[in-house]
Amino acid sequence: MPPQRLFVLIAGNFFVATSFLSVGGLLSDISASLQVPIEQAGLLIAAFGIAAAVCAPTLATLGSPIDRRKLLTGSMAVCALANLLAALSQSYDHLLLARVLAAVTSAVYTPQVAATLSMLMPEKERAPTLAKLMVGWSVGAVLGNPLSVLIASVSSWRMSFAFIGVSSAVIAFFIWRSLPSNVMVPPLNWHRWFQVLRSPALRFLTAATMFANVGSVVMMSYIAPIVGSVQGIAGPALALLLFVAGVGSLLGNLLSVTMVRRYGATVVAYRCNISSAVMLLLWPLFSLWASAIYVAQFLWSLGSSGFPAVQQARLVAVAPMLASATIALNSAVTYLGIAVGASIGATAWTLVPPRFMSWVGFVFVLVALTCSVLGERAAQREAAAS
């Protein structure tokens, strides 16, 4: 695949990630501007997750006959429109509707660009290439999310959404220019979905994705009010914290590309879950000092960031011809986990001291690790049986 084409597709993932992740860093600003409680503002993340979870398998099925050039370009155009509408929203309800529209982009672009690449690459190159594709998400955390917070600190949260909207429109243009026409994936129908759902390996692996996201989002969705409450970190200091975490995420993703080649996707997935669990367990100790929070966020992101990419590779390895369905399902449960995690976080915010919110997430990451192990064992049994 030409490097410039891969770069454009990675850039698309960058702005999809920035669109999704931006609300977590802007939560306090949105709450104050629209005069809604923090927990209600946090439900913007839950609504996004629910909409994306519903749309991912539905649009994967309905969109499977569509040329990938048109589908991926159109999804980025929707991202541009949704974020511009968010910038112009005058009420919480208007912003909620804009976020639901933005979820359509995440439901389509990330899973379908991965499915498209998995069909274009030889088998031995799929896992490393999919890991490279997810670097866009990590760079979104490194630059996009902190940049959104920084723009909000010097202007307003509305300008952050406007920045994402205009940038997404530019990327849509370059996707149209860089992808060839008539690139198709195997058509999806309900029989293929039945094949996916009857596989124990695919069920356990997608469950691992969901629970890992619940565990992460419980904490990260409320990171701005948590660190603000615990150590008074806000504004540029919060942007710096997100940047440091993003650097860890980027390095972790790049490291996972190397580790997948050497150890395989399954070993990397286990290490990501274990690293995430350890850091969530230790976070209250790190939070006693403001500087240590930066260290904790870096280590957490470094250790856990490779998990989404390697999960995609594991699903493709179990059933290559079902990649379009399994990756869409993986995205659906990712966003379902985001919705559930944000909802649990909203409840936990009212019941648990901010310093100990990470322990709620710790429980779910342990469940994810268990599902990951069970999924690998089931995959080995299915491979032996076939």
pLDDT 10s digits, 131-190: 677 777 767 766 777 888 889 888 899 999 999 999 999 999 999 988 888 777 766 667
Could you read off the pLDDT of 225-263 as tens digits, one per residue? 899 999 899 888 988 898 888 888 888 878 887 888 788
For the purposes of burial, counting CB atoms within 10 Å of the CB of 179, is it exposed (0-12), middle (13-18) or buried (19 or more)? buried
pLDDT one-digit tens code per residue, 254-294? 888 788 878 888 899 999 999 999 999 999 999 999 999 99
Residue 101: is its pLDDT beyond 70? yes
CATH 1.20.1250.20 fits 3-178+198-385, yes or no: yes
Cα separation, 346 vs 291, whole angstroms: 26
In this predicted structure, what is the pLDDT of residue 141? 65
How many angstroms separate the CA atoms of 302 and 33, rounded?
Answer: 33
What is the per-residue pLDDT for 283?
94
Cα four-point dihedral sign 57, 60, 63, 65 = negative
- Between 222 and 33, whose confidence is greater? 33
pLDDT in tens, 22-40: 887 788 889 999 999 988 8
Residue 62: Cβ-neighbour burial (10 angstroms; 0-12, 13-18, 19+): exposed
How many Å apart are CA 302 and CA 246, to the nearest integer? 9
Q: Which of 6-15, 35-44, 165-174, 304-313 has the lowest mean pLDDT?
A: 304-313
Residues 207 and 13: their CA atoms lie apart, in Å, by 23
Q: State whether residue 233 is helix, strand or coil.
A: coil
Tell me what pLDDT residue 189 has: 66
Write the burial class of residue 382 (CB in 10 Å: 0-12 exposed, 13-18 middle, 19+ buried). middle
Q: What percent of the chain has pLDDT over 70?
A: 95
The residue type found at 166 is V
Instruction: Outline where 264-356 has alpha helix (H).
Output: 265-286, 290-304, 307-318, 323-351
Q: 38-55 pLDDT, tens per residue?
A: 888 888 888 888 888 888
- Answer whether 159's CB lies under 8 Å from 88's CB: no
For 112, phi and psi rounded to 5 degrees? -80, -30
The neighbour count for residue 35, using CB atoms within 10 Å, is: 7
Distance CA 40, CA 50 (A): 15
